[in-house]
């Protein structure tokens, strides 16, 4: 059944939790889970995610939003967002030639693990077209000229602007320009194939082999203007040894990459991730 989710964020002050709970109570909502976190008991930032059941949520939504506006925004100076579990996020996945992250997302989506609508897969190569179409999902081939990304990004914007709530880079391996980020106006999640901040940039598995690390990792993060520097959503590692070549590290790493990316996308699509400066609060 339908679930509402209210995210509240701002400067911590006494009484916010009571205000949120009272508003929901007045509308007849039943709180299913409430997670609250403050960075500091005295004067920190406040983060709250409340999931609730409310008969006729969609009908009452404008009124509820007015009440939140009045009492949270004006009363406490808080930012808030209201989401409904029935309005799935529209997601576009960007891929290149590697299939592991893409297929894991599509397969988990098909079996109901990822609450999202995959509107299309965009790739700079056509290799994965057949795999994607078997899932009944549109595949669009947009070649990228590395000297001039303008044409490709214009095409991306034509396809996506106003039509997506999230872009997932499933080992897309192409630079996303600040200009594109600004124009698209929705969050972009990337999977980096290392345990950030170790091995920022290219060829992390080769560099991991050279450094002789005993664990390799993967990091899902929001994309910002600076390469591999955006807020981290999730990370994980797997044990390796001297025996594995750089190619075998890449193979073991692929397993971690797909798990980490799928978890990050699931959390984002369930409205569990709240950015806090350059890090994230996952509630």
Q: Which residues are catalytic?
A: 228
User: Which residue from 4, 5, 9, 12 is in contact with a second copy, where contact means CB under 8 A?
Assistant: 12
Distance, in Å, from the CA atom of 132 to the CA atom of 106, rounded to the nearest integer, reads 8
Cβ distance to a second copy smaller for residue 153 or 234: 234
The answer, yes or no, to whether the previous bond of 241 is cis (omega within 30 of 0) is no
Distance, in Å, from the CA atom of 91 to the CA atom of 95, rounded to the nearest integer, reads 13
CA dihedral 129, 228, 226, 147 (to 10 degrees): -40
Q: Which residue from 104, 142, 145 is spatially nearest to 125, judged by alpha carbons?
A: 142
User: Which residue from 60, 84, 137, 236 is in contact with a second copy, where contact means CB under 8 A?
Assistant: 236
Cβ distance to a second copy smaller for residue 104 or 153: 104
Say if CB 42 and CB 11 are below 8 A apart.
Answer: no
Q: Which residue has the tokens 């390469």?
A: 227
Cβ distance to a second copy smaller for residue 14 or 162: 14
Minimal distance in Å, beta carbon 263 to a second copy? 10
Site residues for a second copy, window 262-281 (CB under 8 A)?
276, 278-281
Stretch of residues binding a second copy (CB under 8 A), selected from 11-19, 71-79, 119-127, 142-150: 11-19
User: Which residue from 28, 77, 138, 178 is in contact with a second copy, where contact means CB under 8 A?
Assistant: 28
Site residues for a second copy, window 109-128 (CB under 8 A)?
111, 113
Which residues, including other chains, have CB under 8 Å from residue 261's CB and lie 6 or more apart?
Answer: 101, 104, 105, 168, 170, 189, 191, 218, 220
Minimal distance in Å, beta carbon 270 to a second copy? 13
Q: Counting contacts by CB under 8 A, is residue 257 touching a second copy?
A: no
Phi then psi for 199, rounded to 5 degrees? Answer: 60, 50
Number of chain residues interacting with a second copy (CB under 8 A) = 63
Stretch of residues binding a second copy (CB under 8 A), selected from 66-74, 151-159, 179-187, 233-241: 233-241
Quote the crossing angle between the two packed helices 57-68 and 16-26, to the nearest 10°: 150
User: Which residue from 235, 250, 268, 271 is in contact with a second copy, where contact means CB under 8 A?
Assistant: 235
Stretch of residues binding a second copy (CB under 8 A), selected from 57-65, 78-86, 96-104, 164-172: 96-104
Which residues, including other chains, have CB under 8 Å from residue 243's CB and lie 6 or more apart?
Answer: none
Distance, in Å, from the CA atom of 21 to the CA atom of 15, rounded to the nearest integer, reads 10
Distance, in Å, from the CA atom of 179 to the CA atom of 40, rounded to the nearest integer, reads 35
Phi then psi for 203, rounded to 5 degrees? Answer: 55, 45
- Contact string 160-199 vs a second copy (x = CB under 8 A): -----------------------------------xxxxx
**Binding residues vs a second copy (CB under 8 A):** 1, 12, 14-18, 20-22, 24-25, 28-38, 41, 53, 99-100, 103, 107, 111, 113, 134, 195-199, 210-215, 217, 231-237, 241-243, 251, 255, 259, 276, 278-282
């Amino acid at each position: 059944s339908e679930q509402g989710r209210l995210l509240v964020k701002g400067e911590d002050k006494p009484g916010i939790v009571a205000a949120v709970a009272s508003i929901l109570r007045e509308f007849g909502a039943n709180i299913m889970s409430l997670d609250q976190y403050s960075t500091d008991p005295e004067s920190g930032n406040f983060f709250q995610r409340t999931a609730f059941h409310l008969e006729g949520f969609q009908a009452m939504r404008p009124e509820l939003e007015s009440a939140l506006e009045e009492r949270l925004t004006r009363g406490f100076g808080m930012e808030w967002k209201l989401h409904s579990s029935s309005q799935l996020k529209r997601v576009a996945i960007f891929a290149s030639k590697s299939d592991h992250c893409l297929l894991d997302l599509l397969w988990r989506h098909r079996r109901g693990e990822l609450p999202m609508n995959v509107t299309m897969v965009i790739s700079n190569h056509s290799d994965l077209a057949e795999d994607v179409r078997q899932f009944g999902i549109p595949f669009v081939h947009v070649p990228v000229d590395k000297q001039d990304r303008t044409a490709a990004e214009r095409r991306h914007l034509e396809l996506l602007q106003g039509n997506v709530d999230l872009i997932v880079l499933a080992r897309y391996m192409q630079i996303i320009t600040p200009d594109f980020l600004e124009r698209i106006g929705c969050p972009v999640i990337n999977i980096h194939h290392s345990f950030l901040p170790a091995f920022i940039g290219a060829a992390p598995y080769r560099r991991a082999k050279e450094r002789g690390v005993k664990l390799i990792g993967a990091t899902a993060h929001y994309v910002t203007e600076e390469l591999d520097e955006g807020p981290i959503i999730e990370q994980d590692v797997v044990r390796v040894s001297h025996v594995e070549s750089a190619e075998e590290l890449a193979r073991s790493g692929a397993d971690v990459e797909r798990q980490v990316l799928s978890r990050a996308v699931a959390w984002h699509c369930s409205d569990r991730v709240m950015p806090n400066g350059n890090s994230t609060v996952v509630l």
